[in-house]
Structures are given as structure tokens and as C-alpha cells.
Structure 1
Amino acid sequence: MTIAPENRRMLSLVPHARGKRSAVTCELKCGNACAHPAPNTSENGYFRDIASAAFSRRRMLGGVGGGALAVALSPAGQAVAGGRGSAHHGAGLRFTPIAPVPADVDDLTVPKGWTWTPVIRWGDPLFRHTPEFDPEHQTEAAQRQQVGYNCDYLDIIERKGSGGRRAVAVLNHEYTNENIMFPPTDDEQTLAEQKRVAMAAHGLTVVELRRSGRGRPWSMVRGARLNRRIHLQTEFAVDGPAAGHPLLRTQDDPLGRRILGTQNNCSGGTTPWGTVLSGEENFNQYFVANDTPENKRYGIPTTAGGRAWWTVDPRFDARQPGYENEVHRFGWVVEIDPEDPDSTPVKHTAMGRFKHESANIRVAPDGRVVAYSGDDERFDYLYKFVSSKTMVKGSSRAAREANKRLLSSGDLYVARLTGDSPAGQIDGSGDLPADEAFDGSGRWIPLVEGGRSKVAGMSVAEVLVFTRLAADRVGATKMDRPEDVQPNPVTGRVYAALTNNTNRGVGSNPGVDEANPRVTNREGHVLELTEHRNDPTSTRFAWTLLLVCGDPSSAGTYFGGYDGPVSPISCPDNVAFDSTGALWISTDGQPGTLGLNDALHRVTLSGRQRGKVEQFLAVPREAETCGPVVHDRDGSVFVAVQHPGEEGSWADQHSYFPDYVAPGTLSRGRWGGPRPSVVQVHRA
């Protein structure tokens, strides 16, 4: 039988940069973004044009008094003005760091005295009448009632009054790998059903957990009241200034206020009022669209290829009349309420549209909430949203409902960073400048403020739907793939994972600057940002690079000034904090840069050991470490193990995580093949 090209099984692999990921992951996760020119070709008054001369730190903070200046620019071991102290992990988890694990090891490696337990796996049934997992006979109907694929963001939220015995887990499902999910076939109807299964495997899962007591392993509760799947056929409400705008209207939604589904959900955050935010990241790869400047800036393909979902759902062909705006309906921050399985999730247009890695919130002294987010693309930007209303205190239902509207209106900003060293001292090698730090000042540049557009020639709705173009116009700083951005709950400082950028300083691409100091930055770095007077609503900040990642024996790496032994670390992706404020970093790409399995590391932020990196675990072969959750007081660490055995095929699986049974066998819910899963690491 001859199969039409759009119905054939993926993949069509293209050469990719010698960077962090395998060719398979590049194709499936982000649509080979690194194999194409960076979408940001703007000449937006970039770093060295803005900083025509070096700025002193004192000039950077202008009229700030001497005492406040000393605090804002002191080492992280000192308290931040208005903060809650310094981050120190002395009272946190105690473990012996593990040695780096070679990239061909198909095991989850943990410290001596610890063990791990799978808690949630792809295909686990959620409801009493859900079909059992059967990868050889998956259906769309079954997958809608089972845990989705490739978990990324994760949180484990303990239920109040349960004595630590009940919790609810919320996890994202970023993308699918049909090559190892399904047996090969030439049957067109089966191929179409596999597309629908893959669509159902995207989105989010909410599932209740239980255990016998604190410090013990969790397990899923099948049929629990709060269990829920959110997928590409789930209805979302749209709120904020762009809701109902013509740019969001389609023939299926002429009012522009209801959207079916969410996809490529990467990282996220849990709000102080108990809801969960999820970032729609590489949404562009699922569409084919007309060649317009706006679509080009977002990397929307103009030729058929990839997953070809439009063969089973026409809205993904945005060239068709009536569906031109479907691409505008993805790329948002979505909010779900895990305590209400009947609630309608929401897409928040006030927070802007781009490849949101995540959204993480800090409450300002005046009660407004501030959300930080990165646009995960080479040479794209860091953003901040400040709500117009203040958070209602308390845990009542009324307070929760009021707070669920906080992200519907507010101000949107993009970051412009300036270094304090002469440009000639930033030579692209990663070697420190004369002042022995990559650091400087910054401004949050308004895009929307007080309900008005601050970008010439663009309305508020246009700024929010085409946020990248708006940020180009105001001269934001082009960063090396800003992924997870989170405020430290102890100090208030903000940490951004800049994963890598192999195009930095190559050809006509932007060159290095103090915030992105390495040419062909394969290993990535971590930025530490201190808001002026520790007020997250401020429009001024100081910044420094905490880590310039890589093998510590290699030139051009930096570990916060710490000169003792550290674990190698490359391609920082997600960040998290424990109860003491210590930083934890998960990686995505160490197999391609260091020849090591991806990992989870703890980083000291204070005192003489500031910058010390200690590896806690390593994930199995060809997998990525995602969604770290550190419950140090409970003695537990959770990670989402994404895409184990990514480079395999149905006939040649490369991983058997987490069930580790005979290849191809299926017995009592355990399968001899790779299953993206959530695991809990705890004391043996």
C-alpha cells in the first residue's frame, strides 16, 4: 500500500548543531528549532549598542542609598533587603554526591542509602473503568483516561488535614515519540488513530496520591475524585485583554473566547492560592501556516511535515480559510484548578504569547503577584508580569476564586540587561572580566502598563498576541534560550536557566555580551537576578551569572567563585528550591555535551561554598530530568523522567525504564519498553 507523505510515520531527521540533544529529541520536542535560522532576526538596539560605555554598579542603581546598595550587590550569603534571610542548605537533605553516569547506562542512579520508586507512569489508568495500558492496542478513548506521555512540570501538593498521607500530583505532558510508542503499520486508519492517540497524550494529568505515612513512597489512587486528564479536546476559557479579539477568532470559535486544548506544555508553577500554571512552549511545530512576518517570528512552518495533525483535525492547517488564527490560540500560560475537576481551565492573554517555558509567582509587599517567564528560543527574552489587583489572603473558597482572576489583568515587561565591564573584556571564551564577575544592571521595559500599550504602532491586543515582535521593538536583550525562571522563596532572588545557544557569535548571529558571554554556548549558564530593594514590582534590578556551566576541568566555566571540587553540569533546564532556599537544577542535554546521563544537582547559594554543585541523581539512557520537586523535610525528591530511550524504535527499544521487565512483555500493568514516569527518591 502506498501511504501519502503526510500519513507516514515520523521521523524525517535533519542534521543538527553539535549541541545538547539527539536528532530525535530535536525533531519531536521543538521541531528542529536549532536546524533552522533563529526566528529573532530583529535589530533591536542590542546590548553593545545600548551600553556604549561601562556602567559602574553605583551608577546602575542611581539614587539608592549606600546601605541598600551594599545589600543589593553583596554576595548571596548576606540577607537581601526586605527578604527572609540567606539561602543555606546545611539543614537540608544530607547525601553523598554521586559520580557522573555515562550516557549508555539505562538506570536511575541515586546516592548510597537512597532508593527510588515509580509513582506515575505513561498509560497508568486514572479512572475505575479506564482500560488497562496496552501499547500494542492504544486508542484515543483509552489515552484520554490514562496518564499522558513525556511528563515535564510536576508538583506534589499535600492535602490539608491528611497528616501527610494524601496528596494530589499535577504534571504536564510536553510531546510524544510515536516511533517508540506504537508498533509500525502501513494501515492508514491505524496511522490516523495513532495521531489521535498522540494528541490525547499531550496536555496535563491531575491524580490523587496516598501513602502510609511521612517519608514513605506515594502511589496513585485510581478512580479518585480529583483525577483528571486535560488534553487537546478539553475546552479552555480565554481571559485578559486579547480575549474576543479578532486575532483569536476562528470559524469554530467566532467569538474568540473558547479554545480546544493545550499542547507542548513544558514547565510551570504552583500559585500561592493553590492552582497550577503551565507554559505552552513549542506549539509552533504542530501547525502549517501562511508565510507572514508574524508567523515567521514564531517559527510556524509554512510547508507540510512533522506530525501532520491536520489530516485528522483541520484546525492545525492554518492556511485554510477560517483557521488562520488557530496558531494565535496557543503559546499562552494556562491555569488549572486541581481541587476542582469540573472547573474550566483558563488561558491568560495578559501574560503574553510566546514559547513559555514556565510561569512562577512571587507575592510583592503590596500584595500584587508577579510572574516570571522565559521564552525558550535562541536569542529570545525574559519577561515579567505584574498583576493589577492584589491577592486576597486566606484559604476560603471566595479567596481562591478571587485570586484565580489575578492573572487576568496587569502589566507586562521584558528584560534589558547591561554589563558593567568594558566590551573588550567579554571575549567569548567564558573567561571572567577584570572585576572577576559577569554582572551588571537591568531594566524591565514595559510592553503593556496601566492597561495601555507602551509599544509604538501596536495595540494592547497586538502586543499580547505578538509579544515577540513587541519585545523586539523596545530593545530587549537577546538571551541564550531562557527556560525555567523562578524566584527563591527564601531570599527573593530570581534564577533563570539559560540552557544553551550554539549559534551565539556564529556568522551573522548576535555576538557575546556580559549576560551571554560564550561563543557557541553549548553548555549554558544560570543567571541570578536581584530586584531593586527586593521588590518584585520594581523596574530595576541587578544581575550576576551564578554558573557558567560545563566540565569544571575545562576553560571558560565558572561556579560562583567556589574553587573546590564540583560535579560537572551542562544544559540547565528546570530549577527548584528546597525549604532552606538551596537551588536544585535539572539538566537537558548532558549526553550530547558531556557524554553523561542527564542529572539533578544541588547548588549552594551562600557562604564560602557558594557555587558548589553536587549531583544527586542521574536519569536513564537518553532521558531528560524534568520537574524537580524537593521535599527535604519529608526526605523525598521527585523528578519527571522524560523521553527515556528516545533514540530507539518499536523493534529496538533503548530503555526499559521504569518497569525493567522482559522486552515487549506486558503483565500486571508492567511493560518491557520505555515509559516516561514520575519517580520518588527516598531513603532506602
Structure 2
Amino acid sequence: MPLARRQFLRSAATVAVVALMGETRARPAGADRLGFSAVPATLRDAVTVPPGYEAQVLYPWGSPTGIAGAMPAFAPDASNSAADQAVQAGMHHDGMHFLPLDGSADRGLLVMNHEYTDEQLLHPDGARPMTAVKAQKSLHAMGVSVIEIALTPAGWRQVLPSRFARRIHGQTPIRIAGPASGSPLMRTAGDPAGERVAGTFANCAMGVTPWGTYLTCEENFHVYFGAPKMSPTPAQRRYGLGADAWVDYWRVDERFDIAKHPNESNRFGWVVEIDPFDPASMPVKRTALGRKHQESATCTLTRDGRLAIYMGDDSNFEYVYKFVSRDKVRPGNDAAARAANRDLLDEGTLHVARFDADGRGQWLALRHGHGGIDAASGFASQAEVLIHARQAADIVGATRMDRPEWIAVDPASGAVHVALTHNSLRGQPGMPPVDAANPRAGNIFGGILRWREDAGDAASNGFAWDHFVLAGDPAVPGSGARYPNAEADAFGCPDGLHFDSAGLLWIQTDMSGSAIGKGPMAALGNNQMLCADPTSGRIKRFLVGPGGCEITGCALTPDCRSLFVNIQHPGETRADGSGSPNSAWPDGTLPGSARPRSATVVVRRRDGGIVGT
């Protein structure tokens, strides 16, 4: 039967993972656990927070990362060199996590993704013409930042320099591990063994392992590859290759020309594991988790102590996945535990979800030789199953979803929530029809679907599911919006999801810059962050961002008194960055007065209390 709207039995495994990741302080109980005053929907070009709260800009694009001897300041005219950008904050901050140092809530590592670049803002003369120097700077502006931060009487500050500070970017050496390592489809002229790759980019949502490593997800990698008069193969087309590239690296860097190097794109679209505590360690692409437009790598423990990782594939009509490790997790989150679990993500089973109309669902294994995935269907090995995970999921009959993005596990109930951000093509001529899990044609508003694993065990093959939210403005005729509580604040296009240690769900939105404040989105204001109590169904708007931005990335300190949020691409009016910015946040007051800069913001109560209460 469909997942009931009730408090589920506590999942001890999920609670254990949350404790390992750092958030441990309980919130006060009560009928309304959302004690803040909701902020109104607004189109203000500012960060709006509730009364009694303050928002501090902490780490904007171009800030020094804190690597000793390499701390160039941000140049407002974008004249920083590619070498500068390699040791500065990247563009378009996304998923992140706070990792305490020495168990402290006041000092730790903040690790975050940098998803993509706005070439118009990145270079003094804009995107055209593309040059080798511009391509190098652009590759350096993506990837991951590791910074050290500390709470001072004046607020949160970076520790400069820091022995932990690090930038991992589009040219950092990275090892390829797991079943696809060394596969013929991973070999290139520059890497005949298929075991090393230059860089990670298009880094979106993330995860954190129980042993304290960071998982960054490579999402829209396809937009950086191209070729003159390209005719993509069916396998390349299935991953979006062949459309016009957002950034035409291929004109100046041959490895991005997929006519000359067709295997290079196979080396992207993976989950990459990083040890933030060891700046000398090499990141690793974990191919056992499958290749896709990777969104989220949310970790939880199975009842017998293995690791389950939930993942979305953020494209229209793509799938929800789960990886279950073969071996058990060695307990701890120190250096010894990281060493003991070093290879744990290289062996296990990747599954894809089927959501049935009766509210039940099944996890379908993607294993070579099973379920029709074999040589007859075009898969010569398990490596090829993982490299072409989308095609394998097609064969087993998984459910095509409305852009699955972030996934979060409720520590109080064990219920798993996935953001389905939107899919305007659903039910259109020639496109997949509506179904129980994706019930709206022309779905522009998105929603949040949730499930509970059978027996409360993340290793189960079956689950029960329902919709937590069908988002949108209920006042718009035909919106199909449905909220769990009549007093819920309306929103559109949910993207980021994060449960805190008390089981409150933080929801972040990503309406397109071209749609914000217009048409059916007119009453929803700028993109925002809301807080939901799954028990009561109450949802309150907590934060609204500046013009054109996406709100993404959510992390709290262990005492839940500081909340870190990323403001991505403020001023963006078109997805390709070609429009004139409609914001100058955080440095200017009017559009055009300063280059808008993505930035990490820290939100605190002025009285030092727990955020959200």
C-alpha cells in the first residue's frame, strides 16, 4: 500500500550515518517545530532571512582557497589568470558538507562543488573567441573546494592559510577504479591503460561516506564535448552528446573533440571520492556506482552494516538508482577508517528503481548476464553495463522519472525522499506518458516523491512509495499542486534536499532564470529554501535568494546553530549565460555595477540559537 503519512519506526542504521556525518544536536519537540517566522515570496535582489536571523557572505567565487603561498585576490574585472583560478573558489557553488575538526562545531572543513562556468563573466572579454588559455581557466573554475573555516567573535572566517586547503578541478589527476577501470571503452590516446583521467567537472550534488570522505557527482559533462559536423553514435546520443556544446573546449583542446577521441566522454559522469583530510591523496572515480548525469550520492547503512548509496540521474525521463556494497563498512571516521574502507565502493551491486502504480516499487539489479543485460543486448561485460547504465536501465524496465535530483534520508523515519524538479515534456506528443509516480503532463513545477524500504532495510529489493509534495502555485488553474498541509508555503522546482539531525527537511528550489517571476511562476518569487516538518506536513519559507540565482547546497554544524547555503549563478536570466545579468550580488547594488558572484552564505540566529526554531 502507499507510504502512510505517519511517523515511521526509527532507522538505527540511518541515525548511525547521520551521527558519523556530524549533526547530532536534537531540536525541541512540539506541535510546530518550525519556530521561525516565514519570509514572503519576493523578487528582491538580496538574501532574505527571517526576523532574528542574519546571513553572512563567506566564500564567493574568486576567494583564495587558503593554499599556503598561493592566495591571489579576486580581480573584479575578471583578469585573474588560469593559474590564479586554480587556487581560488570556483564558479557556481553547489552541494557541500561541513566536516568538524576535532569534534568541534566551531571549526571544520567546508567541502563544496563548483558545477559549471559562466564564460561571459569568467573572462574580461567574454566567451568568444574561445582560446586555449580561456579553456584552461574555465576547467580550473569547476570541481571542488576544500577550505578550513572557524567561528570567531566576528562570525565565520576562513583559516588562511590552511594545511587542508585544496582545489580539485578539471585538470587534476584522478584515478579510475572499479569494474570499468581499464575497460577498452575507457582507454584513450593520452591514457592507453584507461586507469587515469585529467579532471572532474560539472560537479553538482554530493554525498558523504560514514568514514568521512566526500563524494562529488559529475552531472552535465556532455555539454563540454563536441566535434565539427558531429554525428553522434546512439550510445553518445543517449548521454546527450551531439547537441551544441555550452563551452566549445573541443576547438582548442583536442581531448574534448569526440570525433578524434570518442572514449574521453566515457570517463565522465561518475561519482568521485575525495579525502578532504589528506590534501596529497588522489581523488578516485568509483565506476561501480554507474555512469549517468550524476545527481546525489546519499549514503546510509544497511541492517547488516553494508553501505547503500542513492543516486538520481538529472535529465528528463531518467532514473533513480541505488548501489549496495558487497562488503560491510569498517566503523569510524578517522584516518584508519578511511584506509580500511578505501576500496569498499569498488565492489557491489547497482540497482535502478521501478515505481509501480499500486504504490509498491522494486529495485532491479543491473548485472551482466541477468535481466536481459547480456551480449545479445549489446553489453559485453559488467564494465559496459556501468559505462552505459542508462541503456541497461532501459532493458530491465525501470520507471522514467521527471528529472530526479537530490535524495535525502529522514533520520527519524528512514523514509527516502527524492526531488523531481520538473519535466515539461511529460505527456507531450512522442514523449513518455504520465504514470503514477509522474502524474502531471507538462510538469513545470516538480515535486518530492518518497519511499520506505521494506523492513526498514536499505538492502531490500522492495519498497512502498507516495508523493510528499506536488509543487506549484495552487492558484494557477490546472497546476495540480498538492501539499501535505493546507498552510504550506508554495514553491516550484524542488532541487536540493537535506535532512537535519532532528528530521526537518530543508528544500531548495531551482526555477529557471528565464521563468522566475513570470507566468505560472509569478507568485513564487525568486528561488528559495524552505523547511518542512514531515510529521505535521507544515512547510515554511526560510530564505529567498537574489535575482536569477539557484539556491543549493545545505550543511549544518553539529550543534545546528550555523547553516551553510550556496547562492549559485546570481543574475542568470538564461541557462547558457548569454543574457545580461539581472543582479550584481553580493558586491554591487544595481545590475551592471559589479560582476555577480556565486557564494557560500552562513545563516545564524542573532541570539545564537538553533537554526529553524
TM-score, normalization by structure 2? 0.89
CA separation of 1:517 and 1:326: change in aligned 2, threshold 3 A: same
Of 31, 34, 39, the residue aligned with 1:98 is 39
Aligned-pair distance for 1:197? 1.2
Of 230, 235, 251, the residue aligned with 1:311 is 251
Paired position in structure 2 for 1:455: 373
Aligned-pair distance for 1:312? 2.8
Of 129, 149, 157, the residue aligned with 2:99 is 157
Paired position in structure 2 for 1:345: 283
Matched, 1:195 2:135: yes
How far apart are the structure 1 equivalents of 2:528 and 2:263? 39
Matched, 1:603 2:532: yes
- Which letter maps to 1:76? R
Aligned-pair distance for 1:639? 0.8
Paired position in structure 2 for 1:114: 53
Paired position in structure 2 for 1:375: 313
How far apart are the structure 2 equivalents of 1:558 and 1:650? 32
- Secondary structure of the equivalent of 1:180? helix
Counterparts of 1:339-488 in structure 2, within 5 Å, are: 339-420=277-358, 440-448=359-367, 455-457=373-375, 458=379, 459-488=381-410
Aligned-pair distance for 1:653? 4.4
- Secondary structure of the equivalent of 2:56? strand
- Which letter maps to 1:467? A
How far apart are the structure 1 equivalents of 2:450 and 2:128? 52
- Secondary structure of the equivalent of 1:284? helix
Aligned-pair distance for 1:270? 1.3
Could you list the runs of 5+ residues in structure 2 that have no partner in the other structure?
16-25, 607-613
Matched, 1:577 2:515: no
Counterparts of 1:543-558 in structure 2, within 5 Å, are: 543-554=465-476, 555-558=478-481
Aligned-pair distance for 1:556? 4.6
How far apart are the structure 1 equivalents of 2:182 and 2:28? 48
How far apart are the structure 2 equivalents of 1:351 and 1:158? 27
How far apart are the structure 2 equivalents of 1:301 and 1:651? 24
- Secondary structure of the equivalent of 1:179? helix
Paired position in structure 1 for 2:609: none
How far apart are the structure 2 equivalents of 1:355 and 1:663? 33
Maintained 8 Å contact 1:177/1:646: no
Q: Could you list the per-position Cα deviations for residues 445-487 of structure 1 after superposition, in whole angstroms to 9, with x for gaps in the alignment?
A: 01028x9786233220110000001000111101000011122
How far apart are the structure 2 equivalents of 1:313 and 1:90? 57
Aligned-pair distance for 1:348? 0.5
Maintained 8 Å contact 1:135/1:181: no
How far apart are the structure 1 equivalents of 2:599 and 2:127? 29
Paired position in structure 1 for 2:22: none
Paired position in structure 1 for 2:546: 620
Paired position in structure 1 for 2:237: 296
Maintained 8 Å contact 1:238/1:346: yes
Paired position in structure 2 for 1:522: 444
How far apart are the structure 1 equivalents of 2:47 and 2:423? 28
Maintained 8 Å contact 1:124/1:132: yes
Paired position in structure 2 for 1:184: 125
Aligned-pair distance for 1:398? 2.6
Aligned-pair distance for 1:305? 4.7
- Secondary structure of the equivalent of 1:415? strand
Mean CA deviation greater in 259-268 or 626-635: 626-635
Aligned-pair distance for 1:220? 1.1
Aligned-pair distance for 1:491? 1.8
Aligned-pair distance for 1:550? 0.6
Aligned-pair distance for 1:93? 6.0
How far apart are the structure 2 equivalents of 1:89 and 1:524? 31
How far apart are the structure 1 equivalents of 2:571 and 2:367? 44
CA separation of 1:550 and 1:250: change in aligned 2, threshold 3 A: same
- Which letter maps to 1:316? F
Aligned length: 574
- Secondary structure of the equivalent of 1:176? coil
Maintained 8 Å contact 1:376/1:482: yes
Counterparts of 1:235-254 in structure 2, within 5 Å, are: 235-254=173-192
Q: Could you list the per-position Cα deviations for residues 8-49 of structure 1 after superposition, in whole angstroms to 9, with x for gaps in the alignment?
A: xxxxxxxxxxxxxxxxxxxxxxxxxxxxxxxxxxxxxxxxxx
Maintained 8 Å contact 2:148/2:165: yes
- Secondary structure of the equivalent of 1:134? coil
Q: Could you list the per-position Cα deviations for residues 175-225 of structure 1 after superposition, in whole angstroms to 9, with x for gaps in the alignment?
A: 11111333326996x844223211110111101001227xx7311122200
Maintained 8 Å contact 2:105/2:559: no
Maintained 8 Å contact 2:10/2:411: no
How far apart are the structure 2 equivalents of 1:574 and 1:613? 15
Maintained 8 Å contact 1:83/1:534: no
- Which letter maps to 1:623? C
CA separation of 1:93 and 1:341: change in aligned 2, threshold 3 A: farther
Could you list the runs of 5+ residues in structure 1 that have no partner in the other structure?
1-56, 58-71, 421-439, 666-671
How far apart are the structure 2 equivalents of 1:186 and 1:288? 16
Maintained 8 Å contact 2:311/2:320: yes
- Secondary structure of the equivalent of 1:294? helix
Matched, 1:492 2:421: no
Aligned CA-pair RMSD: 2.5
CA separation of 1:88 and 1:562: change in aligned 2, threshold 3 A: farther
CA separation of 1:166 and 1:462: change in aligned 2, threshold 3 A: same
CA separation of 1:255 and 1:542: change in aligned 2, threshold 3 A: same
Of 149, 171, 180, the residue aligned with 2:112 is 171
Paired position in structure 2 for 1:594: 521
Maintained 8 Å contact 2:210/2:332: no
CA separation of 1:305 and 1:385: change in aligned 2, threshold 3 A: closer
CA separation of 1:659 and 1:365: change in aligned 2, threshold 3 A: same
Paired position in structure 2 for 1:278: 216
Maintained 8 Å contact 2:353/2:361: yes
How far apart are the structure 1 equivalents of 2:500 and 2:12? 20
How far apart are the structure 1 equivalents of 2:281 and 2:61? 24
Aligned-pair distance for 1:94? 2.8
- Secondary structure of the equivalent of 2:463? strand
Aligned-pair distance for 1:324? 1.5
Paired position in structure 1 for 2:145: 205
Q: Could you list the per-position Cα deviations for residues 298-324 of structure 1 after superposition, in whole angstroms to 9, with x for gaps in the alignment?
A: 11016x65311123321000101xx21
CA separation of 1:417 and 1:254: change in aligned 2, threshold 3 A: same
CA separation of 1:187 and 1:377: change in aligned 2, threshold 3 A: closer
Matched, 1:660 2:588: yes
State the 4+ residue runs in structure 1 displaced beyond 6 angstroms: 81-85, 451-454, 648-651, 661-665
CA separation of 1:547 and 1:662: change in aligned 2, threshold 3 A: closer
How far apart are the structure 2 equivalents of 1:376 and 1:477? 14
CA separation of 1:663 and 1:377: change in aligned 2, threshold 3 A: closer
- Secondary structure of the equivalent of 1:496? strand
Maintained 8 Å contact 2:300/2:307: yes
Of 513, 521, 541, the residue aligned with 2:463 is 541
- Which letter maps to 1:515? A
Aligned-pair distance for 1:133? 1.1
Aligned-pair distance for 1:572? 0.4
- Which letter maps to 1:463? V
How far apart are the structure 2 equivalents of 1:658 and 1:384? 38
Aligned-pair distance for 1:249? 0.2
Maintained 8 Å contact 1:578/1:632: no
Maintained 8 Å contact 1:447/1:454: no
CA separation of 1:513 and 1:200: change in aligned 2, threshold 3 A: same
